[in-house]
Amino acid sequence: MVRSSQAAIDLIVTEEDGSEAYYSRHYTNFEWPQGASGPTAGIGYDCGYVTAQQVKEDWTGYVSDQMVQALMRAAGLKGEAAHAFVQKYGASVTITWDQALAQFKGRELPTWEGMVSHALLNTDLLSGDSFGALVSLAYNRGCSFTSPGSRYAEMRAIWHHMADKKFNLIPGEFLSMRRLWPVGKDLWNRRMHEAALFEKGLEAA
C-alpha cells in the first residue's frame, strides 16, 4: 500500500507526462528528455539508469513480453547514446496510458517511497501530502539527499531538517532550489508545486 496521497500521485504523473490526452499524443513510445537522460517510457521511467534485469522485473506483467524485451535494449544508455537509440528505435515500444499508470502505481511509486523512507529520517511523521512531495522530488532528482556540491545544497538541507524534525523549513528548500532552473520553466514550477503540497500536508497534520 502506498503512503503518498492522491494529490501527490496526481502531481507526479502530471509533472512527468501531463494529461492522458497529452501522454497519448507524445509519450506512448520512447522519448529522450535530453541532457544525461536515457530513453524514457511510461510515467518518466528512465531506462538509462537501470539494468536490463531491473527493466525486466519492473515491467513484466504490465506490458507484453515483446515490449519488455524492447525496453531492456534501452537499459544503461544515456546522453547522446540514448538520443541516437531513440531516433532509431523510438517506435519499438508502445505503452498505453493505462499500462503506464498501472506500472507506476504498482511498481515505481512503492519503490521510490521505499527509497525515500530509507534515505530520510522521520518520514513516518509526515502526512501523505508532505511525504508525497518528497517522493516527487526524489523521482525527479534521485535520492540525492547526501550528494556533495552546491547543486545539492537544498537536498542536504532537507536531510538535516528531516533529522531535526524541522519540517516547517522544508518548503523553503523546495523554493530555494528553483535557482537551478530557468524562471517559469517546467522544473522551476514543479518545485513550487511540491513546496505547496508539502506545506498543505503540514497544515492538515
pLDDT digits (tens, 9 = 90+) for 141-156: 999 999 999 999 999 9
Q: Which residues contact 202 (CB under 8 A, 6 or more apart)?
A: 127, 130, 167, 168, 171
Q: How confident is the model at residue 136 (pLDDT cuts 50, 70, 90)?
A: very high
Q: Per-residue pLDDT averaged across 117-136, rounded?
A: 98
Q: Quick one: how far is CA 30 from the chain centroid?
A: 16
Statement: residue 2 has pLDDT above 90: yes
pLDDT digits (tens, 9 = 90+) for 70-104: 999 999 999 999 999 999 999 999 999 999 999 99
Nearest to 101 by CA among 32, 201, 2: 2
pTM of the model: 0.93
- Whole-number Cα distances in Å, 76 to 46, 175, 189: 9, 32, 29
Give the chain's radius of gyration (CA, Å).
Answer: 17
